[in-house]
Amino acid sequence: MSEVTTLKNGINLYNKDAFYKLQEAGNILKGIRDELVENATEGNTTNALNELAESLIIKNNCDTLFKGFGNYPYTTCLSNNEQIVHGIPTDDPLKIGDVLTIDIGLKYKGYCADSARTVIIGDNPPEDDILLLETAKKGFEAGLEKAYPGNTTGDIGFAIHKQVIFPQKIPEDWRSGYKFKIFVQFSGHGIGLELHEPPTIPNFGSLGKGLELLEGMCFCIEPVVLYAESEVCMQEIDGITRFTTHDLKPSAQYENQVYLSSNGPIVLT
């Protein structure tokens, strides 16, 4: 029996044997991601972090996943400060107060894993930046709570968006009074045999809308959170689409890969 069933809409459902392999890949990635977080320190460079990531992936008998995906030539996406996603490694030393997103993927025994964390370099960071990171994590957790068979992708997106915009309660004037917002150009995605598979997992949406969640799905939930006043600038450089904030304020991403069992979500990373 095949480990993967592909539906007519292109969604892959992964059986128990596939789940164990996805879990292996996720465990390896988690260890590497956490080591990169530990090494994101003042004076280190994102080029050094990228080289460390590649060496650890090879050491664990895995293949790089981002390198060679489209036109992207690096093992990691390392987005610093005003860079939102798709930041590339450089030789610029990290400084106290920098806000760095570490996004990394790998493939192990034919199965993919993908995860991201945002960190602040140094001690005693600004309270607003701490809250920014916490909001991204809480957005992920809110989406995860809706990742059950029978719910929809819109249920996940609605929960994420509501948590980020209105963490306490919706004010009477709902268009004002919020501190953060979702980076709406970005979304989560199915993953398994390939880095990007259907379905799209939006970071905003409507209850009951979108695709129904099914047992055996594997996908990434990954809210990216901006300050409310930040506008997004997009630029194409060397075939890579870069996104930055116009006011140079940082953003935060919190991404985990999730497998959908009959009892609900299992976080793999």
* Domain spans, the chain: 4-134+184-195+215-224+231-261
| pLDDT tens digits, one per residue of 50-79 | 999 999 999 999 999 999 888 899 999 999
Confidence of residue 166 (pLDDT cuts 50, 70, 90): confident
Q: Supply the mean pLDDT for the chain.
A: 94
Q: The whole model's pTM is what?
A: 0.94
* Tokens 């979500």, located at residue: 265
Closest CA to 192 of 156, 221, 217: 217
| pLDDT tens digits, one per residue of 147-165 | 999 999 999 999 999 999 8
At the topology level, CATH places domain 4-134+184-195+215-224+231-261 in: Creatine Amidinohydrolase (3.90.230)
pLDDT value for 240: 81
CA–CA separation, 228 and 145 (whole Å): 25
pLDDT at 173 over 90: no
pLDDT at 243 over 80: yes
Q: In a 3-state reduction of DSSP, which class is residue 5?
A: strand
Q: Could you tell me how far CA 160 lies from the centroid of its own chain?
A: 13
pLDDT value for 145: 98
| pLDDT tens digits, one per residue of 253-269 | 999 999 999 999 999 99
Are the CB atoms for 106 and 63 separated by under 8 Å? yes
Average pLDDT of span 4-11? 96
Confidence of residue 136 (pLDDT cuts 50, 70, 90): very high
